[in-house]
Amino acid sequence: MKPRSLLVVDSDRSVHELLSSVLQRGDRRIRDSYDGEEALVQLRRSPCDVVVAGQGRNGLDGLKLLRRVRAIRPQTRVILTGEPDLAQVIGAIRGRAYSYFHKPLAEAALADMVQQALEATSWQDDIRVLSARPEWITLEIRCKMNAAERATQFLREAEADVAAHAREDIAAAFRELLMNAIEHGGKQDPKKHVRVSLVRGARMLIVHIHDPGKGFSLDFLPHAAISNPDGSPIKHVEVRVEMGQRPGGFGILMTRNLVDELLYNERGNAVLFVKYL
């Protein structure tokens, strides 16, 4: 089987050393470039599956490199690395980057995202920016589970200035509710989309998720842990197996413990949560 090809672009040698140790596998070939222009020369010569791109020596930053890569090799997945900067994150989504990670890099999460990128086929327009005001970001997300993972990482980066423990609570709640919206509201139909808004106030973050489904009743969710009868804490697991659903069902129950307020609309196809900062 042909080895998968990764290209690491960064002016910092220590980044190359770190990523080489984190990303190396027997079925991968990792190439290095310390200069953005030289990286583009490499890509013109031969294709590459994934580019992990930071700041190059010649001033060609990740976003500029992303645009050039899109023109040369539009199928190449580009994961950007850089500073915790909201404008960079929005630029990455608009430029169809596969993901974004700020430095110091979260090694395990980055390795998982690279693996997902290697396995991805159609992905370029899975996440689209509808509004990009710093205090009000709205995204349209295709009803695919791997799009939910990518959107969750983008959310982490968009809220990089929030205290780490609060940011992870927000990300975990967001991921669970978004996956529910994609799985149950959108039926994992890639022709459908979920709309997500992140609204930032001085002392709170509001997340609103609206799916394309008919909705549901909170009083009848046999596949969710929130509906388990007293004395049967895992009854929903049996229901999910019978229904052929993925393991889980703890999303709503878990989310209630992670955020400060959790509200559904009357139809049950939109949910809003508030986290006080």
Tokens of 207: 């997340």
Which pLDDT score is estimated for 121?
86
- Percent of the chain whose predicted confidence (pLDDT) is above 90: 79
Q: What is the pLDDT of residue 232?
A: 58
Burial level of 107, CB count in 10 A (0-12/13-18/19+)? middle
End-to-end CA distance of the chain: 49
245 and 150, same structural domain?
yes
> Do 86 and 151 have their domain in common?
no
Q: Answer whether 272's CB lies under 8 Å from 208's CB.
A: yes
pLDDT at 274: 98
Which of 121, 153, 182 corresponds to the end of one domain? 121
Looking at the structure, tell me whether residues 196 and 96 fall in a common domain.
Answer: no
What CATH number should be reported for the domain holding residue 192?
A: 3.30.565.10
Q: What is the DSSP annotation of 245-272?
A: PPS---HHHHHHHHSSEEEE-SSSSEEE
Q: Is 214 in the same domain as 170?
A: yes
Domain edge (last residue) among 88, 121, 154: 121
Residue that is last in its domain, among 104, 121, 138? 121
108 and 188, same domain (yes or no)? no
pLDDT tens string, the chain, 277 residues long: the values are 678 999 999 999 999 999 999 999 989 999 999 999 999 999 999 999 999 999 877 667 889 999 999 999 999 999 999 999 999 999 999 999 999 999 999 999 999 999 999 999 899 999 999 999 999 999 999 999 999 999 999 999 999 999 999 999 999 999 999 999 999 899 999 999 999 999 999 999 999 999 999 987 655 555 554 555 666 555 545 555 566 665 555 667 789 999 999 999 999 999 999 999 9
Strand order across the beta sheet in which 77-82 lies: 28-33, 4-9, 50-53, 77-82, 99-102
Whether residues 75 and 182 fall in one domain: no
- Of 102, 115, 9, residue with least CA distance to 52: 9
pTM confidence score: 0.88
Phi, psi of 147 (to 5 degrees): -65, -35
Do 79 and 157 lie in one domain? The reply is: no
Q: Are residue 146 and residue 272 in the same domain, yes or no?
A: yes
The answer on 168 and 63 residing in a single domain is: no
Residues 106 and 147 in one domain: no
Structural domain range at position 150: 125-277
Total domains, the chain: 2
Contact 11, 53 (CB under 8 A): no
32: β partners: 8
Same domain? For 152 and 232 the reply is yes
The single residue listed with the structure tokens 């960064």 is: 10
Helix (H, G, I), strand (E, B) or coil at 8: strand
Q: Are residues 130 and 110 in the same domain?
A: no
pLDDT score at 56: 78
Residue 46: which CATH number? 3.40.50.2300
Q: 3-class SS at 217?
A: coil
